[in-house]
Amino acid sequence: MKAWLFSLAGALLLATVGYGGYLVGAGNQAVLDAKEIAQGRKAVADLSAEVERLNRQVGALPKAVATEKQDMPPALKDQDHLRKMFNATDDKGVGGIEFDLEGQPGSHDYKAVVEAFVETRLQKEMRSMITVSRSVNPRVVLVTTADGAALEISMKKWNNRGQIWSVTGYNELHPQGEPAPDGRYRVLQVADAPADVQEWAGKWEAKSVWVKESLPRGEKTYLLLKSTDSPTDSVEVEEIRFGAEELFVTYQTFEYGETADPALINDRLLIEVDHNAAQGVTFHESYHVGE
């Protein structure tokens, strides 16, 4: 409605200007008599009045109400939390997919393929997207959507098909509320651990090499990660995941060298976990700095 009124007002203004130009030209040529000039002036006045009326009508139209986009739920804002949720779930989602844009614009852009997959295959509105895998091919992308879903999308670039991207699988979760800190494990000073755990840790601390060991104790499991005897080597835990009487520990090691910032050095970690890992602990080194 508003667009139509603006178009009509514009047309009337053009007609007014055109008619005025005609009168000026005709006056210069002395071909119009007084009656015609008077009629022309009246027509211009009528057109101007109509334009003013339309302007008032447009101004009276109700203003569009801006709809504030609903804020993203807190659980979807914490990408680290979402990654841990996907890692912890036993349901690995839907595999065996091959969705691509072969022969279409965007087939070589993984972002365009992800967006097309989310919007056309899953019928969802995408809110955010970030690559969470360390490798670029294959690639894992974390997506959040307007309906509160988190998607972990697996992708592959086909170098033997002109380097197009395709979606090969996905998993979907609907996290709610605030992500809570994981209180199931904590770092201990060796002196604060039970006596038998102190004795066990002491034996490994005498070693001059990297150490990753575990000690099950009833409903608890103790983990020891230790660097070498170099004063500039360090170790950090990245993630601890829980299985049925199992633990999966991801850690990182650092050989900083002589230029190390002393505040970064963590030569050992003794961790108490509230979980019975009777079936064992799996350690995985995800990152290493050094030679």
pLDDT in the model for residue 46:
73
Average pLDDT over residues 230-250: 91
* Cβ-proximal residues to 49 (8 Å cutoff; 6+ apart), any chain: none
Query: What does the pLDDT read at residue 30?
Result: 52
In this prediction, residues 264-290 reach a mean pLDDT of: 93
**What is the predicted pLDDT for the residue at 3?**
47
CA 135, 175, 95, 118 dihedral sign is negative
Whether residue 68 is predicted with pLDDT greater than 50 in this model: the reply is: no
What does pTM read for this prediction? 0.55
**Please, are residues 269 and 225 in contact by the beta-carbon 8 Å criterion?**
yes
Confidence category of residue 59, pLDDT binned at 50, 70, 90: low
Q: Write down the pLDDT at residue 10.
A: 52
- pLDDT interval class at 109 (50, 70, 90): very high
Q: What is the rounded average pLDDT of the residues 165-172?
A: 96
Backbone angles phi, psi at 199, to 5 degrees: -65, -45
Give a three-class secondary structure readout of the chain. CHHHHHHHHHHHHHHHHHHHHHHHHHHHCCCCCHHHHHHHHHHHHHHHHHHHHHHHHHHHCCCCCCCCCCCCCHHHHCHHHHHHHHHHCCCCCEEEEEEECCCCCCCCCHHHHHHHHHHHHCCCCEEEEEECCCCCCCEEEEEEECCCCEEEEEEEEEHHHCCEEEEEEEEEECCCCCCCCCCCEEEECHHHCCHHHHHHHHHHHCCCCCEEEEEEECCEEEEEEECCCCCCEEEEEEEEEEECCEEEEEEEEEECCCCCCHHHCCCEEEEEECCCCCCCEEEEEEEEECC
Mean of per-residue pLDDT scores for the chain: 82
pLDDT at residue 226 in the model:
96
Which residue has better confidence, 250 or 46? 250
Chain centroid to Cα 257, Å, comes to 35
Q: Which of 82-96, 221-235, 258-272 has the lowest mean pLDDT?
A: 82-96
Q: Is the pLDDT of residue 163 over 80?
A: yes
pLDDT at 147 over 60: yes
Residue 80 confidence (pLDDT) above 60: yes
Q: What is the pLDDT of residues 12-34, one digit of tens each?
A: 445 554 555 554 455 555 545 66
pLDDT top residue among 153 and 11? 153
